[in-house]
């Protein structure tokens, strides 16, 4: 039985399962000897700790990562997805991909959500696939798409980061709407760390309420990101407290979902924030 999502009732937790050898955070499960069992063990642990959503990603999105073909991505993803579905875990299954063929294979097999780091822009068929399967889709703003040779690039970069992100997300929302994706199935992600400066990322978290005002649930993924390392001068494995601070502020600014590596610690942060915010609502 899948978990029920009731937006606004509490913060939902998305656990990151990296089916790669080259994750920026050092948690890529392909470094082990048995990808399927390693992933299944992590999925079970996350669910036992309280995760709501498992996000399976089979291609690294770090800036200098080598791209993989759709075939290789499916080879990594599908055996793990099949095993997790067979175990009937009490969690929503999200697949982190920007390729429509991978998305369709996953949705056909029983995945619930698509998490597209290119906001339906990379693959022109992605929106149609999400609409076909009536799947919720996370559309992310990706600042890496601005090309230096583009005549609009410099003008875009001069814009306030919130306006730049909102404009990009609106374009993705329009793509979704034109493809027939139900608007209640659209989740927004401002894309922390994707083509953005340290100052951009800090501003996005501090002003996340302006993204929330666009009228869709909001996902935020600051976990272990480099802006935390730059601010605190810490390596990826030392960014727990910085991640906790970023998540706490994000929740107070309206985040509905937090995407995390450190499940147990960040769930406690979320539950504490929820308790404080719910107390505030009761007093109004």
C-alpha gyration radius of the chain: 18
How confident is the model at residue 32, as a pLDDT?
A: 55
Q: Is-contact 243 262, C-beta < 8 A?
A: yes
Does the annotation count 264 as an active-site position?
A: no
Catalytic residue among 121, 164, 224, 225: 225
Q: Is-contact 255 208, C-beta < 8 A?
A: yes
How confident is the model at residue 122, as a pLDDT?
A: 94
How confident is the model at residue 3, as a pLDDT?
A: 77
Three-state DSSP class for 188?
strand
Query: Rounded to an integer, what distance in angstroms lies between the CA atom of residue 139 and that of residue 117?
Result: 7
Cα-based torsion angle of the residue sequence 178, 100, 133, 10 in order, rounded to the nearest 10 degrees: -90
Catalytic residue among 121, 196, 224, 259: 259
Q: Is-contact 162 203, C-beta < 8 A?
A: yes
* Closest to 106 in 3D by CA, of 129, 128, 127, 78: 78
Query: Rounded to an integer, what distance in angstroms lies between the CA atom of residue 19 and that of residue 32?
Result: 10
* Burial of 214 (C-beta count, 10 Å sphere; 0-12/13-18/19+): middle
Does the annotation count 271 as an active-site position?
A: no
Assigned fold of 12-283: TIM Barrel (3.20.20)
* Closest to 114 in 3D by CA, of 62, 74, 57: 57
Q: Is-contact 43 54, C-beta < 8 A?
A: yes
Residue 265 parent element (H or E): helix 263-283
> Residue 3 corresponds to which tokens in the numbers above?
């978990």
> Residue 236 corresponds to which tokens in the numbers above?
């990826």
pLDDT (tens digit, 0 to 9) for every residue of the chain, 284 residues total?
A: 567 899 999 999 999 999 988 654 445 455 556 889 999 999 999 999 999 999 999 998 777 777 899 999 999 999 999 999 999 999 999 999 999 999 999 999 999 999 999 999 999 999 999 999 999 999 999 998 644 444 445 555 556 999 999 999 999 999 999 999 999 999 999 999 999 999 999 999 999 999 999 999 999 999 999 999 999 999 999 999 999 999 999 999 999 999 999 999 999 999 999 999 998 666 65
Look up the pTM and report it.
0.91
Question: Could you give the residue ranges of the DSSP H alpha helices within 63-122?
Answer: 70-86, 100-109
Q: How large is the greatest C-alpha to C-alpha distance in the chain, in angstroms?
A: 54
């Amino acid at each position: 039985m899948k978990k029920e999502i009731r937006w606004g009732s509490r913060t939902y937790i998305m656990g990151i399962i990296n089916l790669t050898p080259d994750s920026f955070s050092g948690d890529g499960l392909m470094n082990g000897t048995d990808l399927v069992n390693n992933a299944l063990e992590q999925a079970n642990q996350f669910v036992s700790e309280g995760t709501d959503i498992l996000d399976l990603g089979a291609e690294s999105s770090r800036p200098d990562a080598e791209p993989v073909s759709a075939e290789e991505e499916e080879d990594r993803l599908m055996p793990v997805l099949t095993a997790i579905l067979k175990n009937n875990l009490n969690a929503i299954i999200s697949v982190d991909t920007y390729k429509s063929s991978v998305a369709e294979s996953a949705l056909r097999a029983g995945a619930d959500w698509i998490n597209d780091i290119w906001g339906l822009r990379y693959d022109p068929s992605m929106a149609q696939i999400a609409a076909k399967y009536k799947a919720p889709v996370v559309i992310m703003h990706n600042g890496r798409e601005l090309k230096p040779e583009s005549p609009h690039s410099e003008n875009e970069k001069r814009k306030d980061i919130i306006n730049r992100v909102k404009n990009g997300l609106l374009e993705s929302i329009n793509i979704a709407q034109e493809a027939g994706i139900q608007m209640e199935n659209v989740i927004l992600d401002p894309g922390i760390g994707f083509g953005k400066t340290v100052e951009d990322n800090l501003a996005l978290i501090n002003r996340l309420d302006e993204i929330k005002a666009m009228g869709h649930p909001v996902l935020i993924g600051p976990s272990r990101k480099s802006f935390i390392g730059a601010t605190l001068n810490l390596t990826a494995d030392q960014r727990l407290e910085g991640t906790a601070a970023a998540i706490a502020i994000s929740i107070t600014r309206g985040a509905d979902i937090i995407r995390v590596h450190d499940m147990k610690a960040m769930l406690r942060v979320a539950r504490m924030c929820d308790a404080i915010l719910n107390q505030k609502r009761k007093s109004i």
